[in-house]
Amino acid sequence: MSTDSGNPSCLLYGPLDARFEDRPMPVLDNPHDVIVQVAYTGVCGSDVHFWLHGGIRTYVSETQPLTMGHEASGIIHKVGSGVITLVPGDRVAIEPGYPCRRCARCKIGRYNLCPEMKFAADPPYTHGTLTKYFKLPADFCYKIPDSISLSDAVLMEPLAVAIHAVRLADIKLGNRVIVFGAGTVGLFCAAVAREFGASVVVSVDVLENRLRFAREFIGSVGRTAMPDLSLSPEENAQRLIQTQGFGEGADIVIDASGAEASVQTGVFSLRMGGTYVQAGMGKRKIEFPISEMCEREIVAKGCFRYGAGDFDLGIHLVGSGRIQLAGLVTKIFPFGRATDAWETAKRGEGTKTLIEGPKT
């Protein structure tokens, strides 16, 4: 990796082809932008997919490589002349995408659906946070209190995803909730559901180590269940409902796994008129039990990233001690070993893996 005074970055050129290079320093050509010195970048499932396949809907290439990373925290390095809310030295969590602010979706407050969204590490044009210096609008940086470390601040991004999902589910006091997937987002969905008043939250996963952590993380309203992979989704749903004492079914199901079997089991697990939210992304084409949804008048909603207030609420829940982050970050790799971090996440080791920002 170059030691010149540039902007050390980790770029993906194609599947299993990552290279460390200097990119140009960001320039504050907009008075409302800031430059953040990145402290940590988290690894999520989409990063692993990029590492293995070079992209998801759009792909990197030899001629258009991409700086990876989107879950990040850092320290304000420089601010534009119009920025009054942040100063150099402020510690921030980064919301890694910013919209056009002008389109119909932005104007009705659903900026996460902006067709011109500039999201970190979105090929072919928008570079990510695995770099020393990252530029973005000031209002997409969130100051964190002293009680939140820079490493934990990375978790504000997946926490915001979970908050968005729970808000879409419209969880009410006393609701019985099932969350499929006990990775980072699934754990946060369960914890936020608890904070929104759920009386019971069942975390479902195929890995016992994840369920063991979930039992401690969610607390008294939390339960866990492991599906029987020899059974059909409908059979697993009936088994889940019966063992949890849910009568005709759960009030709310959130899928944070993206797995086809979980999606199907989730729909079958709902009571008449229940609500299903899809927060996890998996294969683009799966079999969905649409007849079940129609006959039982199930409300099904898609969930994409986060929207207004989601980061703010996440920082409040953590800063006030309502959600504890201890134990979620399980391994931190130096910048030069970013590919080892992706491989660690690919193997499903631990809960959240981080990559340090460049030190030089």
CATH number at residue 110: 3.90.180.10
Q: How far is CA 111 from CA 92, 100, 103, 166, 309, in A?
A: 21, 8, 9, 18, 12
What percentage of the chain exceeds 90 in pLDDT? Answer: 94
Question: How far is it, in rounded angstroms, from Cα 138 to Cα 140?
Answer: 5
- The answer to whether the pTM exceeds 0.85 is yes
312 within a domain of the structure (yes/no): no
Banded pLDDT at 4 (limits 50, 70, 90): very low
Give pLDDT tens digits for 298-317: 999 999 999 999 999 999 99
Banded pLDDT at 1 (limits 50, 70, 90): very low
Domain shared by 113 and 176, yes or no? no
How many domains does the structure of the chain reveal?
A: 2
DSSP H helical ranges for 176-302: 184-195, 208-218, 233-244, 260-268, 290-295
315 within a domain of the structure (yes/no): no
User: Which residue do the tokens 């987002």 mark?
Assistant: 185
Domain shared by 136 and 199, yes or no? no
103 within a domain of the structure (yes/no): yes
153 within a domain of the structure (yes/no): no
Mean pLDDT over the full length of the chain:
96
Domain shared by 262 and 233, yes or no? yes
The two tokens of residue 283 are: 């294969």
Domain shared by 36 and 112, yes or no? yes
Banded pLDDT at 34 (limits 50, 70, 90): very high
Give pLDDT tens digits for 256-280: 999 999 999 999 999 999 999 999 9
Let me know: does 128 contact 70? Beta carbons within 8 Å: yes
Interstrand relation of 33-42 and 352-356 (parallel, antiparallel or unpaired): antiparallel
Residue 4 backbone dihedrals phi, psi, to 5 degrees: -65, 160
Give pLDDT tens digits for 72-128: 999 999 999 999 999 999 999 999 999 999 999 999 999 999 999 999 999 988 999
Domain shared by 142 and 168, yes or no? no
Domain shared by 144 and 10, yes or no? yes
Banded pLDDT at 242 (limits 50, 70, 90): very high
Domain shared by 174 and 119, yes or no? no
Q: Which domain holds residue 295?
A: 164-302
CATH number at residue 247: 3.40.50.720
Give pLDDT tens digits for 319-342: 999 999 999 999 999 999 999 999
334 within a domain of the structure (yes/no): yes
pLDDT at position 360: 79
pLDDT at position 283: 86
User: Nearest 10 degrees: CA dihedral of 150, 152, 154, 159?
Assistant: -150
Tally of CB atoms within 10 A around 324: 14
Domain shared by 247 and 189, yes or no? yes
Residue 193 backbone dihedrals phi, psi, to 5 degrees: -60, -40
Q: Say whether pLDDT at 5 is over 60.
A: no
Burial 211-247 (b: 16+ CB within 10 A, else e): bebbeebbeebbbbbbbeeeeebeebbbbbbeebebe
